[in-house]
C-alpha cells in the first residue's frame, strides 16, 4: 500500500514542527478556515532531489540542464504517474519573479537575497490533510506506506521554540520621496499611452539576531495565526526560508482545466462592523477598482488563450469581494480548457508571472517596473506551490511574502497604478497590505520594534 491513514489534526503546524528537523521541510497551508479554497494542507521533507535554478542552469539533484525556460524544463525530471485530484508526491517549491526574463528580457535590479531564482524539491512522500473530510493521509511513491511512516517517526522530533531579536526597523530603498518620484514616472508613461496599469512595489528589510530557520518559523507561526490566508506556505531550505501568506491563487491546472483567480482592488478592514461593511460596499461599487480588475482579467484571458482550446476561455465570476485579515479584495475567476498537446508546466510558464502583479500590457509594464524598482523582487510576485507527478498543478501568487535569510527579513508590497491614481492613496494601499505583516514580524521578535 502506498498510503497510510494518520490521526487528523485541524492545525497542520503541530505535525509540521516535528518534520522540520528532517531537512528541506515544506508546508502548503490553508490557514483561513472560512475561505472557500480551503481544503488540503500538504507537508513534506527530506526530498529525493533538491531543485534550483541559478545563472541559467537548472539543477535537479546531481543532474544539470542549461535552459532559458526552467519552469517547463522541470518536467523532464519529474516522475510520471496517473492523474490524481490532489498532491501525493512530486515538486513543491517557489518560482522567482526573475524567471519571467525569457519572455520579457530587460535589465533587472539585483536580487537582494542569496537565494536562486527557483528553489524546491522533488518529494517522494507527503502528509496530506483534507479538512473537508477531516482526514490525514501519508503517501509514498515507493514502499509500504505504514513501514515508511514508522521509520520517519523514529527521526522526527519537536522543533524547539527559539527567540530572535530585531536589530533595526524595516527600511526601504524606495523611501516616500523616492516612491513619489517613481510614481510620477509611471504616470508619465501611462499618459503617454505606453501602459494602462503598472504594479509598482517597494522592498523593505530588517536585520535580526538569531537562527535564520528558527526565526522564520517563529514569524510564520505568529503571522499565520494572526493573519490567516487561504494560500499560506512555509518553505525551509538551507539557503533560506520563504514564508508566504497569499490571498491569491495564480494557476490551478488539472488534466484539462486551467483556473486563475486574479486580485485587483483593495480596501482596508475596520474593527468597527458598520465601517467595515461600508468599506466593502465601496470597493464593490468602485468604478476605478472594477476597471483595474477587468484590465487584469483581459490580460489573464490573453495568457490562457495561448495554451487553451479556442473558445474555451470563460469568466464565471467578476468583481467578487473577498475579505481577509487586514483588507478587502476584488477577485475575479478566469477558466479555460488546456489543449492536450500542451503540458501543465508549459501552461504555467506561458502565464508566468501573474498579470495582477505586473500590469497591462504585461511586458511593457514589466519593463517600466525593472527601470524604476531599485531592488529585485526575489520570490515576491513569483509563485509558490506544487506540481504533482500526475500533472496536477496548484500555485499561489507570492504576495504578502517574506524571504528570511542571512540575518535579514525581506518583504515587498505593491499596488496597481492607473491614470487616475493618487500617490498618497497608493502608498496607503501598500501599508494596508503589508503593515500587519511587518507588525507581526516585530511582535514575534524578542524585542518589539515597530515597522518604519
Q: Which residues does the annotation mark as catalytic?
A: 248, 264
Using CA atoms, how far apart are residues 153 and 7, in angstroms rounded to an integer? Answer: 13
Amino acid at each position: 500500500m502506498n498510503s497510510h491513514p494518520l490521526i487528523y489534526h485541524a492545525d497542520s503546524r503541530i505535525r509540521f514542527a516535528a518534520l522540520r528537523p528532517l531537512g528541506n521541510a515544506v508546508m502548503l497551508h490553508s490557514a483561513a478556515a472560512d475561505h472557500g479554497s480551503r481544503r488540503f494542507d500538504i507537508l513534506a521533507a527530506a526530498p529525493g532531489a533538491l531543485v534550483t535554478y541559478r545563472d541559467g542552469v537548472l539543477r535537479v539533484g546531481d543532474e544539470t540542464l542549461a535552459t532559458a525556460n526552467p519552469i517547463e524544463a522541470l518536467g523532464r525530471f519529474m516522475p510520471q504517474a496517473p492523474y490524481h485530484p490532489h498532491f501525493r508526491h512530486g515538486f513543491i517549491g517557489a518560482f522567482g519573479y526573475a524567471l519571467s526574463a525569457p519572455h520579457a528580457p530587460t535589465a533587472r535590479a539585483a536580487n537582494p537575497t542569496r537565494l536562486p531564482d527557483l528553489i524546491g524539491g522533488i518529494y517522494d512522500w507527503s502528509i496530506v490533510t483534507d479538512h473537508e473530510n477531516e482526514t490525514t493521509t501519508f503517501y509514498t511513491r515507493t514502499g509500504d506506506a505504514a513501514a515508511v511512516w514508522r521509520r520517519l517517526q523514529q527521526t522526527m522530533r519537536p522543533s524547539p521554540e527559539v527567540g530572535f531579536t530585531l536589530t533595526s526597523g524595516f527600511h526601504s530603498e524606495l523611501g516616500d520621496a523616492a516612491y513619489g518620484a517613481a510614481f510620477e514616472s509611471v504616470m508619465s508613461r501611462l499618459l503617454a499611452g505606453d501602459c494602462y496599469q503598472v504594479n509598482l512595489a517597494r522592498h523593505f528589510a530588517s536585520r535580526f539576531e538569531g537562527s535564520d530557520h528558527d526565526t522564520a518559523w517563529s514569524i510564520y507561526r505568529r503571522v499565520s495565526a494572526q493573519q490567516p490566508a487561504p494560500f499560506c506556505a512555509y518553505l525551509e531550505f538551507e539557503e533560506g526560508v520563504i514564508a508566504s501568506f497569499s490571498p491569491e491563487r495564480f494557476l490551478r491546472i488539472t488534466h484539462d482545466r486551467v483556473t486563475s483567480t486574479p486580485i485587483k482592488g483593495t480596501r482596508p478592514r475596520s474593527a468597527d462592523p458598520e465601517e467595515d461593511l461600508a468599506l466593502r460596499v465601496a470597493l464593490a461599487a468602485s468604478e476605478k477598482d472594477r476597471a483595474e480588475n477587468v484590465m487584469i482579467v483581459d490580460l489573464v484571458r490573453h495568457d490562457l488563450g495561448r495554451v487553451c482550446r479556442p473558445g474555451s476561455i470563460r469568466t464565471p465570476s467578476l468583481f467578487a469581494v473577498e475579505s481577509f485579515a487586514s483588507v478587502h479584495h476584488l477577485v475575479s475567476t478566469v477558466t479555460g480548457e488546456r489543449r492536450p498537446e500542451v503540458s501543465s508546466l508549459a501552461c504555467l510558464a506561458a502565464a508566468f508571472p501573474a498579470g495582477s502583479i505586473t500590469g497591462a500590457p504585461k511586458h511593457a509594464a514589466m519593463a517600466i517596473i525593472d527601470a524604476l524598482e531599485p531592488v529585485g523582487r526575489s520570490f515576491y510576485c513569483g509563485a509558490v506551490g506544487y506540481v504533482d507527478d500526475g500533472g496536477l498543478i496548484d500555485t499561489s501568487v507570492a504576495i504578502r511574502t517574506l524571504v528570511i535569510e542571512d540575518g535579514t527579513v525581506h518583504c515587498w508590497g505593491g499596488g496597481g497604478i492607473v491614470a487616475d491614481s493618487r500617490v498618497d492613496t497608493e502608498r496607503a494601499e501598500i501599508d494596508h497590505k503589508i503593515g500587519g505583516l511587518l507588525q507581526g514580524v516585530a511582535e514575534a521578535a524578542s524585542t518589539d520594534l515597530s515597522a518604519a
